[in-house]
Structure 1
């Protein structure tokens, strides 16, 4: 669309009948929203499918004028996102893309089809739209010619911050073409090449490109499932050392990496410019020797905050080496060690892991999928009994954990320093003994909010233990000292949570004092205030104040008590209190008189007895 073409559409835009340039009323409505700068119409999806049209879907059919569509998209100031799917072969997509080149508001563009030579028509849009930050190619195979067309597009200067190739079967030869063009995009902060099959050659090309780039701004790199081997990783590391802003590196699923490749990463970690915070090496067949090689470098990576080594072959010796390497990583918050089945035989390693959790800043620990058993859990807890930073433990799908292992958590739960908020036990078969072990262990705990499990054979006995934990109704005092922190027990697949537990958990979502009030009022219709008599009239104002504070919660979910009923309870409590006062008042008055008649120079034992009553 040159200047003349734009003037053609501009001159007719106010009078054109949208029904004449679209195939459906739905598409006409979309053009109307674009024309009228509808502030809520911020995204549009253009496709060929015959599926039912969604609010944002423009389904291209016979009768749709792509030139007009491009014009209205190009002049839009509200659009923030655009996705392009297949177009009918008999329609000219270039007419749309040339109009798109005038847009200055779109921030995210996703392309789900090979545009062929039409990629060239996107050059003005990429070059002139300073708002565009996110470009994604997804769900189509990129051949050599398509890769060259994309390389031509990416060879232009742009404002891109994120570039993603998702399920495109890119391949090493195609990526080599694109990697060369990426040297023109030093401002890119995130590059996602997960499952792109770039292999060794693609990794070498990427590493060489980054090494030769001046001041690359790359912060996040996804290279999962790309058949990267030691040689490819070695070359890549040379390029990553030049990326002084790199904070996130994903290498998961690259099973060809061995200890030699992991030692190459050590070179990166030891670089003075390395600022890596997140490292993912999940599912890389890492064994004890590999993790030992990695740990040697991690001891220098002081910026590390998240480490994922799940789905590997780490055993006791490897875990001990890892703990030794992470000892100086004081910023580490999230540690993933799930699906390392060899750890079920670990004793020393898990105990040392618990010690690491206790003396570092780890907030979340993931040990799922047959990674620990009862003995391992006991060893872990032994090491971290006084931990005060751990917020989340995930023990899901450890089928060997029983009530014995869950009982070992009690010292950790009851520690005054415990700050654990979330415990996930999904997939762990929880029976009455396990439920009782957890409930008894949580007595006195004031941090845990979520106890989640999905498989349970809990009967009335097990649920009764949870009910007593949340609200011990044997006395007002015991209700007061019940658990008012837990907000969730159970999870997906657990449908038989008793109503009283649901009620108590709902109360716990209030502030602690409010939860106490609701539970006491709900569980004790007639509150015995006789124990308060020992403090005499001093407690009467406190009782009245407490009742006043309780009134706002009468209508809260389960507190459906009528105001008249509550007033009766209030009067009954005050009456009971005052009725107990005369005897105390008489005793106090008599004691005062006896003191007045005694000589002030002498005090006998009898006087002291009445002094007590004052």
Structure 2
């Protein structure tokens, strides 16, 4: 990897350094130089790009080139395209700034048709519009991952252009269209193209593209549901895309026994939506991951869904963070008991649901009753739990046979986790059940229990 300084790293020294040191290593085909990141303080204009690309034409070691944030004209992009026509090793590329635009993308895309090794192209926040999308669609090369997030000019026309390219759609395994101004027409075109492609298992990220009318939601979700049913999409993120009408439309379009991951955070999910998800499970749908965070469905909607999930192994990872609808923890016993009965549930996040003392007692009772037998990770951070609440729950978890597969419980961001007695409580747990990790220190994230989001691109411009 090229982070700068000595050894195999090469971020580059400060002070406007160019690329001469890297060019020498690339010309020598240095086998240790497999990844190169050009930070913004490096000079990376037309002259530097030309020199670097000349060395890359015959280089067979470099796999990744990341130079986001450096302004690049269409003329310079054409130099990169020329390199791509000859290079046989580069697998991942990110160049340009927010001003790259359609002209830059079109110039770059001209080099893709004769390149079979470039698999990942990151054009997040690069000013891509419909014309740039059309250029990519005409010359998809061997692309498997196309990152176009935060290009609001792309819109329905741009996505429709991408969807019209059977070769591009068939080859992609990851398509990132977050915050691209995509509406119902674009989503419907994409869903229909994916369903017809015959290629399975894609990740499609559509977060932050709002479908505000019920008719829009129905048309888009019907097409996306068909793609999910055809197994053309394995992971679909619709965070902040839908309103309450959208979820029933989406899951109502699911048919057959399919396994998928579905992101529905901030989608206005209601109890009707939870009921529709439950019906999908009864029809044979299984969720590897189901993200319902930040929807006001706790506890009644959750109880409705969990009862359906308890009837079959319907979900492996369930995110219910921030789902409180105004009820306090004393009303959640039914929801907790239903969650505890879900078979093969591995990870459960209840972050920020105001569980309080009643919620902690409900969790403890469910564990004591033999619930959560398949759970490996439980997140109860940010729920107003006192030290006594935490102690009581942990004490039950230390009993023989209690939640036997549990490996991690997160209790940070609770008042009790700041109590001076928490370290002694945790020490007692570690002595009684050394295989259980108790995460009680705040991590600084909004949800201590949420894994760091997979970053398709860094989003710099």
Question: What TM-score do you get using the length of structure 1 for normalisation?
Answer: 0.62
In structure 2, the CA distance between the partners of 1:261 and 1:503, relative to structure 1 (3 Å rule), is: same
Q: State the 1:102 CA deviation.
A: 1.8
Partner of 2:410: 490
Partner of 1:469: 396
CA distance in 2, matches of 1:230, 1:121: 38
Higher helix share: 1
Deviations along 1:194-233, one digit per CA (max 9) or x if unpaired, are: 11111222112211223xxxxx322111111112111111
Structure 2 residue matching 1:206: 3-state secondary structure = helix
Residue 310 (str. 1) matches residue 239 (str. 2) = yes
Q: 1:450 aligns with which of 374, 377, 385?
A: 377
Q: State the 1:167 CA deviation.
A: 5.0
Partner of 2:272: 348
Residue 131 (str. 1) matches residue 61 (str. 2) = yes
Q: State the 1:442 CA deviation.
A: 2.4
Q: Whose relative contact order is higher, 1 or 2, with alpha carbons under 8 Å and at least 6 apart?
A: 2
Map 1:305-344 → 2, pairs under 5 A? 305-315=234-244, 317-328=245-256, 330-332=258-260, 334-340=261-267, 342-343=268-269
In structure 2, the CA distance between the partners of 1:469 and 1:372, relative to structure 1 (3 Å rule), is: same
Report the count of equivalent residues: 418
Deviations along 1:482-516, one digit per CA (max 9) or x if unpaired, are: 554444333333334473455335543549xxxxx
Q: State the 1:185 CA deviation.
A: 2.0
CA contact (8 A) 2:2 2:37 kept: no
CA distance in 2, matches of 1:88, 1:483: 57
Listed as ranges, the gaps of 5+ residues in structure 1 are 1-42, 47-56, 59-77, 211-215, 472-478, 512-614
Deviations along 1:18-52, one digit per CA (max 9) or x if unpaired, are: xxxxxxxxxxxxxxxxxxxxxxxxx4434xxxxxx
CA contact (8 A) 1:486 1:505 kept: no
Partner of 1:146: 76
Partner of 2:45: 115
CA distance in 2, matches of 1:161, 1:110: 14
In structure 2, the CA distance between the partners of 1:182 and 1:423, relative to structure 1 (3 Å rule), is: same
Partner of 1:45: 3
CA contact (8 A) 2:351 2:383 kept: no
Structure 2 residue matching 1:292: 3-state secondary structure = helix
CA distance in 2, matches of 1:84, 1:448: 45
In structure 2, the CA distance between the partners of 1:187 and 1:291, relative to structure 1 (3 Å rule), is: farther
CA distance in 1, matches of 2:394, 2:87: 64
CA distance in 1, matches of 2:274, 2:147: 30
Q: State the 1:323 CA deviation.
A: 0.8
Question: What TM-score do you get using the length of structure 2 for normalisation?
Answer: 0.80
Structure 1 residue matching 2:100: 3-state secondary structure = coil
Listed as ranges, the gaps of 5+ residues in structure 2 are 437-461
RMSD, aligned CA? 3.0
CA distance in 2, matches of 1:124, 1:381: 59
Q: 1:406 aligns with which of 332, 340, 365?
A: 332
CA distance in 2, matches of 1:502, 1:406: 29
Deviations along 1:407-427, one digit per CA (max 9) or x if unpaired, are: 223443453x62222221223
In structure 2, the CA distance between the partners of 1:141 and 1:123, relative to structure 1 (3 Å rule), is: closer
Structure 2 residue matching 1:270: 3-state secondary structure = helix
In structure 2, the CA distance between the partners of 1:88 and 1:329, relative to structure 1 (3 Å rule), is: same
Q: 1:190 aligns with which of 102, 120, 126?
A: 120
Map 1:252-331 → 2, pairs under 5 A? 252-255=178-181, 257-287=182-212, 288-297=214-223, 298-300=225-227, 301-315=230-244, 317-328=245-256, 330-331=258-259
CA distance in 1, matches of 2:127, 2:117: 24
Partner of 1:29: none
Structure 2 residue matching 1:393: 3-state secondary structure = strand
Map 1:500-511 → 2, pairs under 5 A? 500=425, 502-504=427-429, 507-510=432-435
Structure 1 residue matching 2:384: 3-state secondary structure = coil
Structure with larger Rg: 1
CA contact (8 A) 2:133 2:159 kept: yes
